Protein backbone atom coordinates (compact mmCIF):
# COMPACT_ATOMS: atom_id res chain seq x y z
CA UNK A 1 0.00 0.00 0.00
CA UNK A 2 2.76 2.43 0.88
CA UNK A 3 4.66 1.80 -2.35
CA UNK A 4 2.35 4.29 -4.09
CA UNK A 5 2.97 7.15 -1.68
CA UNK A 6 2.83 7.58 2.06
CA UNK A 7 -0.33 9.70 2.00
CA UNK A 8 -2.14 7.16 -0.19
CA UNK A 9 -1.06 4.32 2.09
CA UNK A 10 -2.31 6.21 5.14
CA UNK A 11 -5.67 6.80 3.44
CA UNK A 12 -5.99 3.12 2.60
CA UNK A 13 -5.02 2.04 6.12
CA UNK A 14 -7.46 4.57 7.61
CA UNK A 15 -10.20 3.23 5.36
CA UNK A 16 -9.59 -0.31 6.61
CA UNK A 17 -9.54 0.83 10.25
CA UNK A 18 -12.77 2.78 9.75
CA UNK A 19 -14.33 -0.29 8.15
CA UNK A 20 -13.75 -2.28 11.33
CA UNK A 21 -15.38 0.30 13.63
CA UNK A 22 -19.02 -0.56 12.72
CA UNK A 23 -18.32 -4.27 13.10
CA UNK A 24 -16.77 -3.73 16.52
CA UNK A 25 -19.66 -1.46 17.54
CA UNK A 26 -22.26 -4.05 16.57
CA UNK A 27 -20.49 -6.82 18.45
CA UNK A 28 -20.11 -4.57 21.51
CA UNK A 29 -23.87 -4.02 21.76
CA UNK A 30 -24.77 -7.51 20.56
CA UNK A 31 -25.21 -9.08 24.05
CA UNK A 32 -27.61 -6.28 25.08
CA UNK A 33 -29.99 -6.91 22.19
CA UNK A 34 -33.00 -9.17 22.21
CA UNK A 35 -33.54 -11.93 19.68
CA UNK A 36 -35.72 -9.64 17.54
CA UNK A 37 -34.80 -6.01 16.83
CA UNK A 38 -36.63 -3.33 14.82
CA UNK A 39 -35.12 -3.27 11.33
CA UNK A 40 -37.47 -0.86 9.58
CA UNK A 41 -39.20 2.07 11.22
CA UNK A 42 -41.68 4.47 9.62
CA UNK A 43 -41.40 8.23 9.90
CA UNK A 44 -44.24 8.09 12.44
CA UNK A 45 -42.06 5.92 14.65
CA UNK A 46 -43.89 2.62 14.25
CA UNK A 47 -41.90 -0.53 13.63
CA UNK A 48 -42.62 -1.90 10.16
CA UNK A 49 -40.32 -4.92 10.26
CA UNK A 50 -38.64 -6.92 12.98
CA UNK A 51 -35.54 -8.93 12.24
CA UNK A 52 -32.95 -11.12 13.86
CA UNK A 53 -30.13 -9.35 15.64
CA UNK A 54 -27.74 -11.20 13.34
CA UNK A 55 -28.99 -9.02 10.49
CA UNK A 56 -27.15 -6.12 12.11
CA UNK A 57 -23.84 -7.77 11.18
CA UNK A 58 -24.65 -7.66 7.45
CA UNK A 59 -24.12 -3.94 6.86
CA UNK A 60 -20.78 -3.62 8.68
CA UNK A 61 -19.58 -6.85 7.09
CA UNK A 62 -20.55 -5.56 3.67
CA UNK A 63 -18.80 -2.27 4.39
CA UNK A 64 -15.58 -4.04 5.32
CA UNK A 65 -15.80 -6.24 2.23
CA UNK A 66 -16.46 -3.33 -0.15
CA UNK A 67 -13.68 -1.15 1.28
CA UNK A 68 -11.15 -3.98 1.21
CA UNK A 69 -12.16 -4.91 -2.35
CA UNK A 70 -11.78 -1.30 -3.46
CA UNK A 71 -8.26 -1.17 -2.06
CA UNK A 72 -7.30 -4.53 -3.60
CA UNK A 73 -8.61 -3.49 -7.02
CA UNK A 74 -6.80 -0.16 -6.68
CA UNK A 75 -3.55 -1.98 -5.90
CA UNK A 76 -3.97 -4.25 -8.92
CA UNK A 77 -4.74 -1.34 -11.22
CA UNK A 78 -1.83 0.70 -9.89
CA UNK A 79 0.58 -2.21 -10.37
CA UNK A 80 -0.40 -2.36 -14.03
CA UNK A 81 1.09 1.15 -14.41
CA UNK A 82 4.49 0.26 -12.92
CA UNK A 83 6.33 1.95 -15.80
CA UNK A 84 4.75 5.33 -14.91
CA UNK A 85 5.04 5.99 -11.16
CA UNK A 86 2.86 9.12 -11.25
CA UNK A 87 0.01 7.36 -12.99
CA UNK A 88 0.27 4.41 -10.59
CA UNK A 89 0.15 6.76 -7.59
CA UNK A 90 -2.86 8.62 -9.00
CA UNK A 91 -4.67 5.35 -9.68
CA UNK A 92 -4.12 4.10 -6.15
CA UNK A 93 -4.95 7.53 -4.72
CA UNK A 94 -8.37 7.36 -6.38
CA UNK A 95 -9.00 3.89 -4.96
CA UNK A 96 -7.82 4.85 -1.46
CA UNK A 97 -10.01 7.95 -1.46
CA UNK A 98 -13.01 5.95 -2.64
CA UNK A 99 -12.45 3.34 0.06
CA UNK A 100 -12.19 6.08 2.68
CA UNK A 101 -15.48 7.65 1.59
CA UNK A 102 -17.17 4.23 1.52
CA UNK A 103 -15.93 3.50 5.04
CA UNK A 104 -17.31 6.78 6.37
CA UNK A 105 -20.67 6.14 4.69
CA UNK A 106 -20.89 2.66 6.23
CA UNK A 107 -19.97 4.04 9.68
CA UNK A 108 -22.79 6.59 9.42
CA UNK A 109 -25.27 4.00 8.11
CA UNK A 110 -24.42 1.61 10.93
CA UNK A 111 -24.82 4.40 13.48
CA UNK A 112 -28.27 5.22 12.09
CA UNK A 113 -29.32 1.57 12.23
CA UNK A 114 -28.02 1.10 15.78
CA UNK A 115 -29.81 4.27 16.86
CA UNK A 116 -33.04 2.89 15.42
CA UNK A 117 -32.52 -0.45 17.13
CA UNK A 118 -31.91 1.08 20.54
CA UNK A 119 -34.50 3.86 20.37
CA UNK A 120 -37.13 1.77 18.62
CA UNK A 121 -38.20 4.86 16.68
CA UNK A 122 -35.51 5.49 14.10
CA UNK A 123 -34.82 8.87 12.55
CA UNK A 124 -37.72 8.89 10.11
CA UNK A 125 -35.88 8.65 6.83
Domain-embedded: residue 125? no
Find how far residue 95's CA is from the centre of its chain. Answer: 15
Length, in residues, of the chain = 125
pLDDT value at 53 more than 60: yes
pLDDT tens-digit profile of 32-49?
Answer: 888 888 777 777 777 788
Rounded (5°) CA angle 69-31-111: 50
Contacts of 42 (CB under 8 A, 6+ apart): 48, 122, 124
Domain with 68 in it = 2-119
Domain-embedded: residue 124? no
CA distance 44 to 123: 9
Domain-embedded: residue 33? yes
Domain count, the chain: 1
Q: Which helix (H) or strand (E) holds 79?
A: helix 58-79
pLDDT tens-digit profile of 13-36?
Answer: 999 999 999 999 999 988 888 888
The rounded percent of the chain whose pLDDT value lies above 90 is: 40
pLDDT band at 82 (very low <50, low <70, confident <90, very high): confident
Amino acid sequence: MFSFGKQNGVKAALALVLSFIPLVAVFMVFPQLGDQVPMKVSSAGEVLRWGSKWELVLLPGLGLLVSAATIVVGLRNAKSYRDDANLAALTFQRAARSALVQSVVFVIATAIILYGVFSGTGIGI
